[in-house]
Amino acid sequence: MTTTDEDLAVDLLRAAPTHENRAEERLRAWARIALAFGDELAATPDPLPAPEIAEVLGGARDDVLVLAEYDTRVRTILVRPDGISRAVKVLMRAGVSVTAGELRAAAVAHEVAHHRMHRGEGRELARRLGHTAFRLGPWRIRGHVTGADELAAHRFAHRRTGIGHGPLALTAALTRHTFGG
């Protein structure tokens, strides 16, 4: 594979519902910032207390797979074993071998990143992205970049778990295949 993480990240951003028409360079710049932010986040220790982890049913449908969620209200990571095992099967068909254990660890790490960003560290990411949605003289409104936090969380999980195929590559592989059965 010659595609880099950055390429995959650009594709992921472009698939987000607000970036369809954005220029390649703009998306690439955002992707670079978000991935670097994920690296930095992974290099610093997680603040205590750590979020709780719970397993919940569901997550495997023919049109959507959910591997894990972070519930901001109760600050809990919800792991979806059904979604994970279905993803393992789909990936196997795609020629990517990953175990359910590895995928689970990556999913938990991904949500740890969301937990940290939600608790305040995400503001720094928004600052670095520096997207201006509206400007009138000295006044500017900072715009939201959909999907940037997702890229950071993917990279964070890759760094923390060190699995062969990172969450970015796995997500890209999943989106190319149907989820049935």
Partner 1 sequence: MGVLILAVMAAGVLLMLTRVLPTAFALGFMAIGIALCAGQPLFGGKDSVAQAVLQTGAPMLASTMIAVLLGSWLGTLMEDTGIAATIVRKIVEFGGERPTAVALGVFAVSILCGSITGSAAAAMLAGVVGIPAMIAVGIPAVVAGGTVLMGLAAGLPLELIGWQFLSDAVKLPLEEVRSFQLKVFPIALVLGIAYIVVELRRKGVRHAWSVRAPGKARVRRGDAPWYALVTPLLPIVLALGFAVPIVPSLLAGVGYALIATTRPGGFGTTALKSLYRAFDVAAPPIVLFIAIGMLLSAVKLPGAVKALSPMVSAISPSSPWFFVLVFAVLVPLCLYRGPLNVYGLGAGIAGVLVSGGIYPAPAVLGLMSSYGQVLCVSDPTSTQTVWSAQYAGVRPEKVMLSTLPYTWLMAIGSLALTSLLFLA
Which of Zn ion, partner 1, none binds 63 (CB below 5-8 Å, type-dependent)? partner 1
Q: Which of residues 135-154 bind Zn ion (CB under 5 A)?
A: 150, 153
Q: Write the CB contacts of 55 (distance below 8 Å, at least 6 apart in sequence).
A: 78, 79, 80, 81
CB of 8 to partner 1, least distance (A): 13
Which of partner 1, Zn ion, none binds 72 (CB below 5-8 Å, type-dependent)? partner 1
Q: Which is nearer to partner 1, 32 or 118 (CB)?
A: 118
170 binds Zn ion (CB under 5 A): no
Q: Which is nearer to Zn ion, 12 or 60 (CB)?
A: 12
DSSP-derived secondary structure letter, 46 = P
Which of partner 1, Zn ion, none binds 93 (CB below 5-8 Å, type-dependent)? none
17 binds partner 1 (CB under 8 A): yes
DSSP-derived secondary structure letter, 142 = E
Beta bridge partners of 134: 141
Q: Write the CB contacts of 159 (distance below 8 Å, at least 6 apart in sequence).
A: 38, 39, 42, 43
Given a contact cutoff of 8 angstroms between Cβ atoms, the answer to whether 125 and 37 are in contact is yes
CB of 68 to partner 1, least distance (A): 5
Q: Write the CB contacts of 153 (distance below 8 Å, at least 6 apart in sequence).
A: 38, 110, 111, 113, 114, 117, 167
User: Footprint of partner 1 on this chain (CB under 8 A)?
Assistant: 16-18, 20-21, 61-74, 83, 87, 107, 110-111, 114, 118, 126, 131, 133-134, 141-147, 149-150, 153, 167, 171, 174-179
